[in-house]
Chains A and B, each alone.
Chain A
Amino acid sequence: MSNAVALPRPFAWERTAYHGAVRGPESDEALARRAAGGDTGAFEQLVIRHQDRLYTLALRVTLSEADARDCVQEGLISAWRAIHRFRGDARFSTWMYRIVIRKAYDAIERRSRAALPTEEIVAVAAAVSVDERLDLSAALARLEPEFRAVAVACDVLGMSMEEAAEALDIPPGTVRSRLFRARGRLAETLDPERTR
Chain B
Amino acid sequence: MSHEEIARRLREQGMAEAPPDLRDEVMRAVRAEPHASASRRRLPRPSLPAWRPVAVWVGVAACLLAAGVGVTRLGGGSGGSASADSSAASPLAEGAGGVTKHAANAPAQTLEFQSMKQVRAVLGIAAFRGLTRSPAGTYSVPVTEGQLNAIRDRYSAAAGATGSATAGVSPGSARIRVLLRVRAP
A residues near B (Cβ < 8 Å) are 35-38, 40, 43-44, 47-48, 51-56, 59-60, 65, 69, 72-73, 76-77, 80-84, 136, 140, 151-152, 154-156, 158, 180, 183-184, 186-187, 190-191, 194-195
Contacts and interface: CB of A to CB of B under 8 A. Distances in A.
Interface string B24-60: 0111011101111111110000000000000000000
Nearest to B11: A155
Contacts of B41: 36, 84
A126 to B, nearest CB: 18
B36 A186 contact: no
B64 interface: no
B17 A194 contact: no
A154 B15 CA distance: 12
Contact of A47 (B6, B10, B17, B27): B27
Interface of B: 1-3, 5-7, 9-11, 13-19, 22-23, 25-27, 29-31, 33-41
Q: Which 6 A-B pairs have the closest CB atoms?
A: A156-B14, A38-B38, A155-B10, A38-B35, A55-B18, A191-B1
Given A40-B27, A40-B31, A52-B18, A80 B11 contact: no
A175 to B, nearest CB: 14
Given A38-B39, A187-B2, 8 more contacts: A51-B23, A52-B16, A56-B14, A60-B16, A69-B19, A73-B26, A136-B10, A151-B10
12 contacts: A48-B23, A51-B23, A51-B26, A52-B16, A54-B18, A56-B16, A76-B30, A80-B33, A81-B36, A136-B14, A154-B7, A186-B6
A53 B30 CA distance: 20
B17 A36 contact: no
Contact of A77 (B17, B19, B26): B26
Contacts, number: 110
Contacts of A136: 9-10, 13-14
Contacts of B30: 40, 43-44, 76-77, 80
Contacts of B29: 73, 77
A65 B18 CA distance: 9
A136 B5 CA distance: 12
A170 to B, nearest CB: 19
B33 to A, nearest CB: 7
Contacts of A72: 18, 22, 26
A41 B39 CA distance: 17
Given A47-B27, A48-B23, A136-B9, A84 B14 contact: no
A57 B173 CA distance: 96
Contacts of A186: 6, 10
A59 B16 contact: yes
Contacts of A40: 27, 30-31, 34
B15 A190 contact: no
A80 B37 CA distance: 7
Contacts of B23: 44, 47-48, 51
A84 B37 contact: yes
A155 B6 contact: yes
Given A40-B30, A194-B1, A155 B18 contact: no
